[in-house]
Amino acid sequence: MAEGNDENGKLAQVRTKGSYSVVSLPHQWFILAMSSELKREPIGRRLMGTPLALFRDNEGKVGALLDRCPHRNVPLSDGEVAKDGAIQCPYHGWRFDRGGTCVAIPSFTGALDNRARNCTAYPAMEQQGFVWVYSTPFDASGAMPDKRPHVFARADDPGYVTVRQAIDQNGTLFSALENALDVPHTAFLHRGLFRSESRGITLKVKISRAQDRCTAEYCGEPRPPGFMARVLSPSGGEVQHWDRFIVPSIAQVEYRIGDENHVLADTAMTPISDFETRLWGVVSLKTRLPGRVVEPFVKPIGLRVLKQDAVILQKQTDTVKHFGGEQFTWTEIDVLGKHIWRLLKAAERGEPIRDTEDTEISLVV
C-alpha cells in the first residue's frame, strides 16, 4: 500500500493486488556451489529459504544435509568433517554421514539406530564443475532421483572458450529469468554493449512452448552494433538468435553469426529465497578469432551486463515491496514472459503443461 492523490487532490492509499511472483519448485536440481568451493570444510547454502550444509566425505563425494543438528539445533555448516568422513556438529560432536544417518555420539554407549537422531538429507551430485542439490529430500528408499541436472552443452568442448561466473540478484526467480531473456530492455539498460536505440528493423519472432521449455527464435536480424557483436563478428553478417527457458531455472541465449561464430550462454538460476536469486553463468563461444584474443573481453563485458541487471532488479524489488505486491501489464513483445510464468507454476504443482502451436510476432529493433 502506498500514498497517491485522489481526484480532489487529497492523499489516498494506493493498493496493489498483493501477489508476488514467488514459486516453490519441488523435485528439481539447482546449483548450490562450484566444485572448487567445496574443499575439506563444510559450507552453508540456502535453497528456497532452506539452510543446507554441504560437505565431502572421505571418498570425495558430496553430501547435502539440512543445516540443523537434530540434537540442539546448531548449524552443521559451522562444524567440520571428521576423520571418518562424516560431518560433525560443533556443539556436542554428533556426526552424520551423507545420507543423514547419525553415525556417532561422543560419550554415548547406547544404540544409534534411532531415526529421530538422523538429519534430513538431500540428493547431491557434481557435474561439470558444479555441485547440484535436489530440492526435495531423499525418500525412505534413499535412492537418487532418475531426473538429472541440466548439461551445459559446449562447456567441455575443446573447440570453444568457456567462461563461468556467479552473481547474486535481488529479485524473484521469475523476474531474473524474464530479465535474462528479454530483448527490448537491452537497447536501454545495456546500450552500446549489445544493441543501441532502434534501427527500425522489423524482426519475425517465432515462439513455441513444450512441456519443459519455451523458445523464441529471432529471424532476419543483421549483426547488432554493440561492442560484443563486433568482437564476435568484425565483418558483420546476419544473426541467428534463439532465447530459451528450460525448466526449472535455465535461461539460455544462443547466437550464430555465419558458420564460424557461435555463442551459447546458459544461466542456471538458484532461488536462494523469495527475493534472492543466484545466477551461475556458463558462456561458451567459438569465433574466427583465436580464443586467447576473445576471452579477455568476455568476462568483463558479461559482468558489466549482469551488474546492470542486478541494479535494475533491486530497484524493481524495492518498488514491489513498497507497494505490497506486483502488477504486470503485457504486450506481445514481452515475448517469453507469460510462457515462463506458466511453466514455473506447472512445475510448482508437479503437473504437465500442454504444448502450444508455434506463433509469430513482429518486433522492431
Q: Which of 174, 244, 169, 255 is nearest to 212 (CA)?
A: 244
Give pLDDT, residue 72: 97
pLDDT at 175 exceeding the cut of 80: yes
What topology is assigned to 161-364 in CATH?
Naphthalene 1,2-dioxygenase Alpha Subunit; Chain A, domain 1 (3.90.380)
Segment (H or E) for 194: none
Give SS3 for 187: helix
Give pLDDT, residue 195: 58
Q: List pLDDT tens digits, range 14-69.
A: 556 678 999 999 999 999 999 999 998 999 999 999 999 999 999 999 999 999 99
Phi and psi at residue 160, in whole multiples of 5°?
-120, 150
Q: How confident is the model at residue 1 (pLDDT cuts 50, 70, 90)?
A: very low
As a whole number of angstroms, the distance between CA 130 and CA 35 comes to 5
Amino acid making up residue 164: R
As a whole number of angstroms, the distance between CA 344 and CA 172 comes to 12
Residues near 365 by Cβ (< 8 Å), separated by ≥ 6?
A: 183, 187, 195, 198, 199, 201, 203, 221, 224
Buried b (16+ CB within 10 A) or exposed e, 135-149: beebeeeeeeeeeeb
- What does the block give as the cell for 252? 539460455
- What does the block give as the cell for 179? 530479465
Q: List pLDDT tens digits, range 242-281.
A: 999 999 999 999 998 877 789 999 999 999 999 999 999 9
Q: How confident is the model at residue 4 (pLDDT cuts 50, 70, 90)?
A: very low
- Contact of 162 with 309, CB cutoff 8 Å: no
For 91-98, the CB contacts below 8 A with 24+ separation are 94/69, 96/65, 97/57, 97/63, 98/57, 98/61, 98/62, 98/63, 98/65, 98/124
The ranges assigned to domains in the chain are 32-134, 161-364
Give pLDDT, residue 189: 86
Q: List pLDDT tens digits, range 204-243.
A: 999 999 999 999 999 877 766 655 555 555 555 678 899 9
Omega into 248 within 30° of 0, i.e. cis? yes
As a whole number of angstroms, the distance between CA 117 and CA 104 comes to 10
- Contact of 64 with 97, CB cutoff 8 Å: no
Q: List pLDDT tens digits, range 278-314.
A: 999 999 998 876 666 666 777 787 788 888 999 999 9
The mean per-residue pLDDT over the stretch 73-88 comes to 97
- Scan for cell 567441455, then name that residue: 156
- What does the block give as the cell for 315? 530497484
DSSP state of 191: B
The mean per-residue pLDDT over the stretch 108-135 comes to 95
The runs of H, that is alpha helices, within the chain are 173-180, 186-189, 227-232, 291-323, 337-349
As a whole number of angstroms, the distance between CA 309 and CA 84 comes to 45
Q: Which of 332, 365, 1 is nearest to 183 (CA)?
A: 365
Distances (CA, A) of 224 to 161, 201, 295, 304: 22, 11, 20, 18
As a whole number of angstroms, the distance between CA 226 and CA 229 comes to 5
Radius of gyration of the chain (CA): 23
Give pLDDT, residue 2: 46
C-alpha triplet 295, 300, 304: angle, nearest 5°: 145
Query: What percent of the chain is predicted at pLDDT more than 70?
Result: 87
Number of H helices, E strands in the chain: 5, 21
The mean per-residue pLDDT over the stretch 93-97 comes to 98
Give pLDDT, residue 349: 95
Instruction: Name which of 62-76, 104-118, 194-208 the model is least confident about.
Output: 194-208
Q: Which of 292, 272, 313, 217 is nearest to 30 (CA)?
A: 272
The mean per-residue pLDDT over the stretch 117-122 comes to 97
Amino acid making up residue 360: E
Give SS3 for 86: coil
- Mean pLDDT value across the chain: 88
CATH number attached to the domain at 32-134: 2.102.10.10
Query: 31 vs 5, which has greater pLDDT?
Result: 31
* Helical pair 291-323 and 173-180, crossing angle rounded to 10 deg: 140
